Structure 1
Amino acid sequence: MQSSQTTKPKRKPTNLSLDSALLQEARALGINVSRSAEAGIVEAVKRHKRAQWLKDNAAAIDSSNAYAEANGLPLARHRQF
């Protein structure tokens, strides 16, 4: 059973070095710089994890693709399209 209160991630104050003109423009536009930086880091982590997963699994992917090229898709006969 879940609590009615959602759990917020623990936040940690951090110092970042940013282009001062960009920071000034973001503030003038009312952009939440902390949230925007966090969103960018989240995206960078996702891209890095995806690239690492592809690297770690490249042999299996290549093997699977080679099998499909040589033998066709295993369940192709069951396709309805």
Structure 2
Amino acid sequence: MNVLYDKKASKKATNISLNSDLVRKAKLYGINLSQTLEVALERIVKEKEEKQWRKENRTAIEVQNRRVEKEGAFSDEFRRF
């Protein structure tokens, strides 16, 4: 399994600018800004890395798909669909 990032890495203090009213409302509801941003960043980074992987492997995937279309897959005899 590919590891997206080291979840045990130390935390880094970071300055960010956010809409003050949005921050006020988030605090009102007890939303943890650091945790929320970390979850959002993890999702975005994962999407970007998946997109990059597909781009880097596009040719190999296309070649394999053409081969399977032409020759079939080794497990075709076991398919139930």
Q: Is 1:60–2:24 an aligned residue pair?
A: no
TM-score scaled by length of structure 2: 0.80
How far apart, CA to CA, are the structure 1 residues paired with 2:38 and 2:29?
18
TM-score scaled by length of structure 1: 0.80
- Supply the AA of the counterpart residue of 2:66: A
- Supply the AA of the counterpart residue of 2:31: I
Aligned to 2:18: 18
- Pairwise CA distance, 1:75: 2.3
Instruction: Select the structure of larger CA radius of gyration.
Output: 1
- Pairwise CA distance, 1:9: 2.8
Structure 2: any 5+ residue segments left out of the alignment? Answer: 1-6
- Supply the AA of the counterpart residue of 1:58: R
How far apart, CA to CA, are the structure 1 residues paired with 2:47 and 2:68?
27
- Pairwise CA distance, 1:53: 0.4
Aligned to 1:69: 69
1:24-81 CA-to-partner distances (Å, cap 9, x unmatched) read 211111000011011111111111110000000000111111111122212212x152
Instruction: Give aligned-pair identity as a percent.
Output: 34
How far apart, CA to CA, are the structure 1 residues paired with 2:59 and 2:25?
46
Q: 1:75 to 1:52 in 2, by over 3 A?
A: same
Count of aligned pairs: 74
Alignment RMSD (CA, Å): 1.7
- Supply the AA of the counterpart residue of 1:53: W
